[in-house]
A and B are shown apart, each in its own frame.
Chain A
Amino acid sequence: MIRIEKLHKSYPIGKDSLHVLKGIDLHIKEGEFVSIMGSSGSGKSTLLNIVGLLDEHDEGDYFLNGQLIKNLNEKKAAILRNKFLGFVFQSFNLISYKTALENVALPLYYKGINRKDRLKIALEYLDKVGLKAWANHLPNELSGGQKQRVAIARALVTKPKVVLADEPTGALDSTTTDSVMDLLKDINDEGMTVFVITHEEEVAEQTKRIVRLKDGIIISDELTKPAKAV
Chain B
Amino acid sequence: MAIKTPKIDLRTSPYIRRSPSVPQIMRNVVYALIPLVIFSMVHFGISALALIVVTTFSCIATEHLFCKWAAKKTTITDFSAVITGLLLAMTLPPGFPLWMGAVGGFVAIAMGKTLFGGIGFNVFNPALVGRAFLQAAFPVSITTWTPTHVAERFIEFIPSTLALPFMRPEETAQWTAQVATDGFTGATPLALMKFQQIISDNTALFFGTVTGSVGETSTLLILLCGGYLIFRKMLDWRIPAAVIFGTAISAEFFHLIDPEAPRALFMILSGGLMFAAVFMASDMVASPITPLGIFVFGVLVGFLTVLIRLYGAMTEAVMYAILFGNAATPLIESFTQPKIYGARKK
Query: Is B a genuine binding partner of A?
Result: no
